[in-house]
Amino acid sequence: MEKEKLKIGIYELTGCAGDALLIVDCEEELMNIFKAADIESFLMAKSDNRNGELDVALVEGSVSTEKEKEELLDIRRRSKVVVAIGNCACVGGIQAAFLDKKDWEKNFKKVYGTIAFTHTKPAQSKPIDAYIRVDHYLPGCPIGKEQFLSTFARMVGGNPPELYRFPVCVECKWHENDCLLNKDIPCLGPLTLAGCGSVCPDHNIPCFGCWGPTEEANLTSEYHLLLDKGFDLEMIKKRMANYSGTRIAEFFAQFRKEKR
């Protein structure tokens, strides 16, 4: 007997749409994706979208408006499993680099002045787990093709995703790159989740941290190491915050305390 297909929805909140695009970029596998599961909703790829019960919801993007928050809550209610896909959904993305609400408000005013928006209320960008329970996280900026396909296939087969939990350095060494940190280049590899295939160090370019921090990212050590190498304190903080979203806000709060 044919197994009943999983009902899957793919949703985009605020972000660059890179994760959805990457799924579209799966090209020959795209047909298999549509065959293996019932894709109930995928705005970028199809126009007959439904908003019913789902087995799995893949959510891209950060929550940056009130409307998105409501949409997200609705997705959670309708879905058995919610997977955050991409840096914005997992940790908040580059737009979550404003560390506190005041800072964000100040910058929002600088851009939009006092204009009253009629379509929706803006909100400081947050990862989706600020509002809902998230079952799995698929990191990346954007997510990796292989990792996505294998995760998708595992979920269709009824298995949870199996992802790398270690930092970029491991893959970087698999590829036999010479360590950039040792050449005094500010590489964030040790702090950043692997899965990208250490693509930047492979191209002699330091890791910018775009897959977000690992569970055990040793921010203190890397921070002092970069200070030791003569980098400017503010520059290090900013660099580390670029793709770390709200997750490392606490770390910086601790520095502020120290300063006082």
State which of positions 106-135 bind other proteins (CB under 8 A).
Answer: 107-108, 110-120, 122-123, 125
Is 31 buried (19+), middle (13-18) or exposed (0-12) by CB count in 10 A? exposed
Q: Which of residues 69-88 bind other proteins (CB under 8 A)?
A: none
Nearer to other proteins, 78 or 149 (CB): 149
Interface segment toward other proteins; rule CB under 8 A; list 1-9, 130-138, 184-192, 248-256: 184-192
Interface segment toward other proteins; rule CB under 8 A; list 50-58, 127-135, 172-180, 245-253: 172-180
- Contact pattern from residue 35 through residue 64 relative to other proteins, giving x for each residue in contact according to CB under 8 A and a dash for the rest: xx------xxxxxxx-----------xxxx
DSSP symbol at 29: H
Least Å distance, CB 246 to other proteins, is 14
Query: Residue 148 carries which side chain, given as an amino acid letter?
Result: F
Q: Which of residues 189-218 bind other proteins (CB under 8 A)?
A: 189-191, 196, 199-200, 202-205, 208, 210, 214-216, 218
Give the Å distances, CA to CA, from 220 to 48, 61, 223: 49, 28, 5
Q: How many CB atoms lie within 10 A of CB 102?
A: 9
176 near other proteins, rule: CB under 8 A: yes
Q: What is the DSSP string of 148-159?
A: HHHHHHHHHTT-
Pick the binder of other proteins from 50, 162, 253, 256 (CB under 8 A): 162
Is 48 buried (19+), middle (13-18) or exposed (0-12) by CB count in 10 A? exposed
Pick the binder of other proteins from 8, 83, 90, 152 (CB under 8 A): 152
Task: Let me know: does 236 contact 181? Beta carbons within 8 Å.
Answer: no
